[in-house]
């Protein structure tokens, strides 16, 4: 999400697919809070208006889930488990990320964990 907001490239292309309603985004309150913190603390500063605009867009155009199951598969950075929890609760097909801790897992249950490039290669060929 953050890469797509600040730079062009594969993450940006995925954000465009989402904005065009061609894919759905699954989030939790915990994930949205992390996005908000990251936007506030990021080395490239957005105006307060732009930050609020992104958070509103994400909240209004995501499936917001409340994960019931706590998952502790990622030991290197346990805070990343929230992405798996939301994906499982929301019955996601993919977690799209460049996060090395998540990518190491490759798949958890029926959720594939792939890079933006892998997603675009898969999605655009479906």
112-121: b (≥16 Cβ within 10 Å) or e: bbbbbeebbe
Q: What pLDDT score was predicted for residue 34?
A: 95
CATH of the domain spanning 2-123: 3.40.50
Q: What is the pLDDT along the chain (126 residues), one digit of tens a residue?
A: 899 999 999 999 999 999 999 999 999 999 999 999 999 998 899 999 999 999 999 999 999 999 999 999 999 999 999 999 999 999 999 999 999 999 999 999 999 999 999 999 988 765
Q: Residue 25 — φ and ψ, nearest 5°? A: -110, 130
Structure tokens at 46: 């957005």
Q: Specify the pairing of strand 94-96 against strand 111-114.
A: parallel
26 in Cβ contact with 32 (< 8 Å): no
């Amino acid at each position: 999400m953050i890469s797509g907001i600040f730079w062009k490239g594969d993450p940006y292309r995925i954000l465009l697919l989402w904005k065009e309603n061609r894919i759905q985004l699954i989030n939790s309150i915990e994930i949205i809070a992390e996005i908000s913190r990251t936007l506030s603390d990021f080395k490239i500063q957005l105006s307060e208006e732009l930050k609020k605009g992104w958070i509103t867009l994400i909240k209004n155009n995501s499936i917001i889930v409340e994960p019931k199951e706590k998952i502790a598969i990622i030991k290197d950075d346990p805070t990343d488990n929230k992405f798996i929890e939301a994906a499982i609760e929301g019955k996601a097909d993919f977690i799209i990320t460049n996060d090395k801790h998540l990518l190491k897992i490759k798949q958890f249950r029926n959720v594939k964990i792939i890079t933006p490039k892998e997603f675009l290669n898969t999605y655009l060929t479906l």
